[in-house]
Amino acid sequence: MNPKALLEQHGLSPRKSLGQNFLHDPNALEKIVATADLMPNDTVVEIGPGTGALTEYLARAARHVITIELDQRLRPVLEQTLAPYPNVAIIWDDVLNVDLLQVVGPKDFVVVANVPYYITSQILRHVLDNYRRPRRVVMTVQLEVAERVTARVGDMSLLAVSVQFFGKVSLVSKLNPAVFWPRPDVDSALLRIDTYDKPPVDVPSSEMFFRVVRAGFSQKRKQLKNALSGGLAIKSDAASALLEAAGIDVKRRAETLSLEEWAALTRAYAASK
The helix/strand/coil state of 57 is helix
pLDDT at 15: 86
Q: Which residues pair with 138 in a beta bridge?
A: 112, 192
Rg, the chain, Cα only = 21
Whole-model pTM over 0.85: yes
The helix/strand/coil state of 73 is helix
First-residue to last-residue Cα distance in the chain: 61
List helix spans (H) across 68-132. 75-81, 100-104, 120-128
pLDDT at 222: 85
pLDDT at 140: 97
Taking the C-alpha atoms of residue 115 and residue 195, their distance in angstroms, rounded to an integer, is 20
pLDDT at 4: 84
Query: Cα–Cα distances in Å, from 165 out to 26, 87, 113, 258?
Result: 33, 33, 20, 11
Cis peptide before 182, with omega less than 30 degrees from 0?
yes
pLDDT at 23: 93
The mean pLDDT values, 10 residues at a time, for the chain of 273 residues are 85 83 95 98 97 97 97 95 97 97 95 91 94 96 96 96 98 96 93 96 97 94 92 96 97 96 98 91
pLDDT at 117: 85
